[in-house]
Amino acid sequence: MQYVWTTAVSGVFLSLIVATAYAEPENLMASDDEFAGPSLYENNCAVCHGEQLEGAAQGVPLVGGDLKQGETLEELMHSIAKGMPEKGMVAWEGVLSDLEIKTLALLVKEYRSGLVAIDLTKEVELPPGEILSTHHNFKVDRITDQLDPFPYSISVLPDNSLLVTEKMFGIRTVSAEGQVSALIDGAPKTHNDVYVLAEQGIEFGAGWILDIQVHPLFQENGWVYLHYTERCRDCGDVMDDDNPPTSRNVVVRGRIDDGHWRDHEVIWSAPDFEANYYLDVVAGGRLAFDPEGYLFMTVGMRDMDGIQDLSSPYGKTHRVHDDGRVPSDNPFVEVDGAYPTIWTVGHRSPQGLAFDASSRQVWGTEHGPRGGDEINLLTPGGNFGWPLFSGGQNYDGTEVAHGRASSELEFADTVQPTVEFTPSIAISNLVVYQGAMFAQWHGDFLVGSLKATDLFRIRLDDGQIVEQEILLKDVGRIRDIDVSASGAVYLLLEHRSGGQIVRMASP
């Protein structure tokens, strides 16, 4: 597939899905209609369009390329309702209700955005031998394939052993040779059930262990930082429609000693448990340190109204000192009622976070737009616009502008993404490479993708893309990236038969 990588110049290309689905968040949470999408699709559409919308003999793919009849919600509803009977696409009007047609249009949009489509069946294929790329040749080795299918984060330690999180299980260590430990005992509790869509492989859960990072002075102080979502204490242990769970983001630190989590301290916590249609899929939960010991974190959206609200921690990035104190130069510390740790505002599903030690800039990735993912420069106090400004405006004039009428935020006040990917690759985490092993990549972004299963290298100069290449193609769903002290690049891959860690090093 051809990707178009653009440096954004205008327009916030944000998706319609969430804005629409969020009209009444409480209802959606427990509503059968919303979750009827997959079985509706399975029963009526999969035979021609494939189980994962990838296409089948009698129909066309609905993901992975442009749609002839358009991909706004309205256009999709029109395609489904009217069909193209002469080409073999049934008109579903009269057969399905308007609500069912809308549900299916939303489902198609969700799959296209990469937010929910999880095809873990795709084999992880590591190219053998020496791999050529523009500046450096490298080889790829597998460290382990013995992890849970849904790992979330890796952190390479100074001795080349690794900490890894499996979001529904907890923390493990992996030796430099690939020996996987038992779960670290005493770490925050996780929940390994998923909501309703489990049989589809769709990971709607609550109560997950997310990012793991070590302190910049880890060798001296041993601190390990963990971002997780704590499931509401009263919500019971089983997820069902009568008892939908809620959760909240929490960041803690502790030390790992002989298989145990010790010296536990809460560094940051969202004050309230909040309901969330997507549960923890959009929780963000990434962490990044700068060399001075400031800790940045991404906290995804929960409630559409809270994203632009400075008194809510959701849909923001945050910055604290390594012990959780609020830095006195944070952008909103002087604003009455503002959550003082907020660094940037207006995010939807911030999947990646990295600090560039040379430029001293913080970068984030985000699943935002229809047909496009973003890399954002997280300037202090920046407002990235979600959910007030949306890409709907580009097609048919239909604007989705949740809360815009009652807000003073102007489009011109929002920060535009630096890089956009079209179509969506389902961007994951990124690093700004600083290692010695691949000196010519110094300062470049290495960016992972879930849907495209490719590893991208991007070089920016003054906000413009000046170099771009795919370093690894079709390796598997890349969930996280980290770089060792010597500069080897480690990738964390999801796969149905076992999550994997692979290492790129000089040949």
Number of neighbours of residue 453 by Cβ within 10 angstroms: 23
Q: Does 47 bind ligand HEC (CB under 6 A)?
A: yes
**What's the rounded Cα separation, in Å, for the pair 210 and 169?**
10
| 2 contact partners, CB below 8 Å, separation of at least 6 | none
Angle (nearest 5°) at CA 234 between 228 and 235: 75
Pattern of binders to ligand HEC over 106-125, x per CB under 6 A? --x-----------------
Q: Does 13 bind ligand HEC (CB under 6 A)?
A: no
Q: Does 20 bind ligand HEC (CB under 6 A)?
A: no
Q: Does 99 bind ligand HEC (CB under 6 A)?
A: no
CA dihedral 333, 334, 338, 341 (to 10 degrees): 0
**What's the rounded Cα separation, in Å, for the pair 139 and 126?**
9
Smallest distance from the beta carbon of 369 to ligand HEC, in angstroms?
Answer: 19
* Part of the chain binding ligand HEC (CB under 6 A), chosen from 82-90, 220-228, 264-272, 350-358: 82-90
Smallest distance from the beta carbon of 85 to ligand HEC, in angstroms?
Answer: 10
Q: Does 44 bind ligand HEC (CB under 6 A)?
A: yes
Q: Does 209 bind ligand HEC (CB under 6 A)?
A: no
Nearer to ligand HEC by C-beta: 74 or 193?
A: 74
| Best CA proximity match to 71, nearest among 389, 452, 371, 349 | 371
| 279 contact partners, CB below 8 Å, separation of at least 6 | 195, 204, 205, 206, 245, 247
| 45 contact partners, CB below 8 Å, separation of at least 6 | 59, 104
**What's the rounded Cα separation, in Å, for the pair 209 and 189?**
8
Smallest distance from the beta carbon of 93 to ligand HEC, in angstroms?
Answer: 11
Q: Which of 90, 180, 196, 235 binds ligand HEC (CB under 6 A)?
A: 90
Number of neighbours of residue 196 by Cβ within 10 angstroms: 17
Query: Would you say the C-alpha torsion 358, 362, 366, 371 has a positive or negative sign?
Result: negative
Q: Which of 11, 55, 59, 186 binds ligand HEC (CB under 6 A)?
A: 59
Q: Does 214 bind ligand HEC (CB under 6 A)?
A: no
Residues 307-346 binding ligand HEC (CB under 6 A) are none
Q: Which of 76, 212, 299, 354 binds ligand HEC (CB under 6 A)?
A: 76
* Part of the chain binding ligand HEC (CB under 6 A), chosen from 77-85, 199-207, 290-298, 416-424: 77-85
| 462 contact partners, CB below 8 Å, separation of at least 6 | none
Q: Does 60 bind ligand HEC (CB under 6 A)?
A: yes
Q: Does 85 bind ligand HEC (CB under 6 A)?
A: no
Smallest distance from the beta carbon of 451 to ligand HEC, in angstroms?
Answer: 18
Rule CB under 6 A: which residues touch ligand HEC? 44-45, 47-49, 58-60, 62, 67-69, 76, 79-80, 84, 87-90, 92, 104, 108
